Chains A and B, each alone.
Chain A
Amino acid sequence: SSELTQDPAVSVALGQTVRITCQGDSLRSYYASWYQQKPGQAPVLVIYGKNNRPSGIPDRFSGSSSGNTASLTITGAQAEDEADYYCNSRDSSGNHYVVFGGGTKLTVL
């Protein structure tokens, strides 16, 4: 099955812009979705499809894609954005599997 690779940790200064990336062959065929997870809580979907935000997700979250790399951008990071972020996509093998990235710990300084 496919794999998705994320940087384990990223940091950003309060109010600055940060990009979290996700790489994998399946991203050449499918858009990534992105999840925010805070300690002790269930994941929350923040971006899906080409660049769609579920209701209630601030517009400082955006998504993009190029080749085998998907990116989640937070423009003007806030303290409450400190969390783990995961990407996922369908497996491109046609086997109906779903794959997740290993996650990125975002620290807001």
Chain B
Amino acid sequence: EVQLVESGGGLIQPGGSLRLSCAASGFTVSSNYMSWVRQAPGKGLEWVSVIYSGGSTYYADSVKGRFTISRDNSKNTLYLQMNSLRAEDTAVYYCANYDSSGHYSAFDIWGQGTMVTVSS
């Protein structure tokens, strides 16, 4: 069964750091494009970052310079290192498989999400 399971969320003070993990099963993270998408409470979806199978990474302007996406091929796991956290980073963070054919982009497999709360 194809599955993504996130972990690592929690309550963190402003300025702190947190690392999210996303364990994949049923497919290989390193062979796919993988992404993080977040959703603030009561708000819409916001794309955060993507890592391509070749290793290139891209970030939304709102997190550039503070967040780092990476993967561990041996563990078939995706990560999101979040530094200098702000209150506005409070959200449910989803990892997702990203299918980009050139004429469309689609997130076709999603994890259940992990909640990150930035508050003092």
Interface residues of A (CB under 8 A from B): 1, 30-33, 35, 37, 42-45, 48-50, 54, 86, 88-90, 95-103
Take A43-B94, A48-B99, A49-B104 as given contacts and tell me if A88 and B61 are in contact as well, using a CB distance cutoff of 8 Å.
Answer: no
Check A88–B99 contact: CB distance below 8 A. no
Against A, the Cβ 8 Å flags (1 = close, 0 = not) of B92-114 are 00100011110111111011110
B46, CB-defined interface residue at 8 Å:
yes
A33 CB contact (under 8 Å) in B56, B105, B111: B105
* Number of A-B residue pairs at CB separation under 8 A: 71
Check B35–A98 contact: CB distance below 8 A. yes
- The dominant DSSP class at the B interface is strand
Take A43-B94, A100-B46 as given contacts and tell me if A30 and B103 are in contact as well, using a CB distance cutoff of 8 Å.
Answer: yes
Take A1-B61, A42-B112 as given contacts and tell me if A100 and B45 are in contact as well, using a CB distance cutoff of 8 Å.
Answer: yes
Check A43–B110 contact: CB distance below 8 A. yes
> Could you tell me the distance between the alpha carbons of A71 and B80 in the complex, rounded to whole angstroms?
33
Check A30–B110 contact: CB distance below 8 A. no
> What's the nearest-Cβ distance from chain A to residue B5, in Å?
11
> Could you tell me the distance between the alpha carbons of A97 and B100 in the complex, rounded to whole angstroms?
11
Question: Which residues, 65 to 120 on B, are CB-close (under 8 Å) to A?
Answer: 94, 98-101, 103-108, 110-113
- Nearest B residue to A95, CB-CB: B58
